A and B are shown apart, each in its own frame.
Chain A
């Protein structure tokens, strides 16, 4: 079960993820990011405070957009990941490629 909430703040688009991301619903994130890029967003921030679990399918969605973000000069940040979820990103090595912050303030202050 996954819920995605879309809000605007300080010219950034915030995607708040709640629940678990697996193969069956990872396409929801894909569509959400696709739409933001299509609308010309220049700053996408993912709020992972209520994200309980993310599977390789979900990670795959994020990683597939890394090149797009670079080409289109889109700022991409993630904050509020629990220890367990952050660990998954770290093992995969994504913490070196993505900007992951512990809190919302840290994300917006950088």
Chain B
């Protein structure tokens, strides 16, 4: 297009200087130039692509301006002709190639434009309609921002479809899965009319056939004739996301057969675009929630890693090793050691009820309480009594903590211990070559949140000998199930210790854990946190 204009402008430029070659006589070169320029001018006049874009008002304005141009042009040319009849004139403008071509061009362009604009007047509404549809489509396809909601898209959808089909009434209803209280938006309809139409749809044979013949995800809009006093034709449009129908839109018109094929196509396009927007919005919200959850988990993991001891306190009289494995990325198991003096050490193991982030937080409370109270040189039962009082205030309503604590005195070779609801600890006696569970009573922490707790905890002391082994653990080990739903159990642990008591703590620990994993089976993940602390006396 631009090249044609440039060619024409160049030709006109040449025509301006033609006067020097020609002296304005009507010879062949003049005629040739004239034909060329007029021809180019007509070609340019035919290219009137700008006219459809004008709105109805603008077209009327153009018609006015073009008429003025045509009239003035004609008038000027006639005047010019008139001058040539006069006797004295310095230059005969009518013989000027440039001017004649210019007149010709202006006249032909204005005339063509005028006629085309005139005949395009009735179709301007169609063009505007198409433009509106394209804009609606664009609005529907814009992604919904996270703060906005689906309702706005459904609103736009209903409006666009109504205007595209010239409907007299419409409503959108969504399924109860996503909107437990129901969702309904109606336009130009009252609920009575809507219910009447709904009932007529249900009874309609066409609708029933349509539902039964197609799988839900293949349903496309269908035009139905109904016997309603006001509305004679309706378009039933299912809203489908990911092959699942989530709702429907019903467009109503007062005339019969009001929905032609083109309208149905436009509506289908709008609906699929709206459904895509809604789906994207839902997926985005889901992704945001997931990310938030992952972040929380990461924080809890970091907290937990910081709580378990990196070094275990002990002296040359005994060796110690510990292992903890958390289910669910964050665990509620706790173990710790504390050196009271060169020959007095404390071992503690604990299990917070539950899993996940709240268990990890309770675990950190437990650690704080242990690290503070233990400095007071309390006996095991006194420790639990005070710990119970402290935890009673920290723990959430349904939560409790089980724990076992051991005070090892290597100077007189004694162990004092207490058990607060925790799984009983295993002890191997080198003298009898037998292992057994330490029997001692004690209520879990946080269950009795008053002074009554004192009566429910006891303490025992015994002497240890060289070769003895103490194993502390949490219930995740004994309760681990295999495919047949059998538990690992206390007996297996007990016999393992009897068999492997000669090994070092780390080796005993590995044996127990290997046995646990082979019992459960390679593929099954153990569902609970489990921890193991092994102490062997030299």
Are A63 and B447 interface neighbours, CB within 8 A? yes
User: Is A56 at the interface (CB under 8 A from chain B)?
Assistant: yes
Are B400 and A63 interface neighbours, CB within 8 A? yes
Are A60 and B399 interface neighbours, CB within 8 A? yes
Interface residue stretch chosen among B154-162, B212-220, B427-435, B436-444? B436-444
Q: In the complex the two chains form, what is the Cα distance from A71 to B456 in whole Å?
A: 20
Are B353 and A97 interface neighbours, CB within 8 A? no
Chain A residue nearest in CB terms to B359: A56
Partner of B456, one of A30, A56, A93: A93
Are B398 and A61 interface neighbours, CB within 8 A? yes
Q: In the complex the two chains form, what is the Cα distance from A56 to B352 in whole Å?
A: 9
| Interfacial chain B residues near A67, Cβ < 8 Å | 449
User: Is A1 at the interface (CB under 8 A from chain B)?
Assistant: no
Which of A26, A59, A93 gathers most chain B CB within 10 Å?
A93
| Interfacial chain A residues near B247, Cβ < 8 Å | none
Q: In the complex the two chains form, what is the Cα distance from A66 to B420 in whole Å?
A: 18
For A39-77 the 0/1 string (1 means CB < 8 A from B) is: 000000000000000001101110110110000000000
Are B441 and A93 interface neighbours, CB within 8 A? yes
Are B400 and A56 interface neighbours, CB within 8 A? yes
* Nearest chain A CB to B404 CB, angstrom units: 11
Chain B residue nearest in CB terms to A52: B485
User: Is B402 at the interface (CB under 8 A from chain A)?
Assistant: yes
Chain B residue nearest in CB terms to A92: B421
Are A66 and B354 interface neighbours, CB within 8 A? no
For A1-42 the 0/1 string (1 means CB < 8 A from B) is: 000000000000000000000010010001000000000000
Q: Taking A23-B354, A57-B353, A91-B421 as contacts, is the C-beta distance between A97 and B448 under 8 angstroms?
A: yes
| Interfacial chain B residues near A92, Cβ < 8 Å | 400, 402, 421, 443-444, 447
Q: Taking A23-B355, A57-B398 as contacts, is the C-beta distance between A97 and B443 under 8 angstroms?
A: yes
Q: Taking A56-B353, A63-B400 as contacts, is the C-beta distance between A91 and B456 under 8 angstroms?
A: no
User: Is A109 at the interface (CB under 8 A from chain B)?
Assistant: no
**A contacts with B: majority SS:** helix
How many of chain B's residues touch chain A, expressed as a range?
A: 20 to 34
| Interfacial chain A residues near B444, Cβ < 8 Å | 92-94
| Interfacial chain A residues near B448, Cβ < 8 Å | 66, 97
Q: In the complex the two chains form, what is the Cα distance from A68 to B351 in whole Å?
A: 25
* Nearest chain B CB to A48 CB, angstrom units: 18
User: Is B397 at the interface (CB under 8 A from chain A)?
Assistant: yes
Q: In the complex the two chains form, what is the Cα distance from A60 to B447 in whole Å?
A: 8
Partner of A96, one of B351, B397, B423, B456: B456
For B388-400 the 0/1 string (1 means CB < 8 A from A) is: 0000000001111
User: Is B350 at the interface (CB under 8 A from chain A)?
Assistant: no
Q: In the complex the two chains form, what is the Cα distance from A60 to B487 in whole Å?
A: 22
Partner of B421, one of A23, A57, A61, A93: A93
Are B355 and A93 interface neighbours, CB within 8 A? no
| Interfacial chain A residues near B402, Cβ < 8 Å | 91-92
Are A91 and B424 interface neighbours, CB within 8 A? yes
| Interfacial chain A residues near B421, Cβ < 8 Å | 91-93
Chain A residue nearest in CB terms to B399: A60
* Nearest chain B CB to A94 CB, angstrom units: 7
8 A Cβ contacts from B61-114 to A: none
Q: List 9 A-B contacts (CB under 8 A).
A: A56-B351, A57-B353, A57-B398, A59-B400, A63-B447, A92-B402, A94-B443, A96-B443, A97-B448
**Residues of chain B at the chain A interface (Cβ within 8 Å):** 351, 353-355, 397-400, 402, 420-424, 441-444, 447-449, 456, 487
In the complex, the 9 A-B pairs of residues with the closest C-beta atoms, listed nearest first: A93-B443, A56-B353, A60-B398, A92-B421, A63-B447, A64-B398, A92-B444, A64-B397, A93-B421
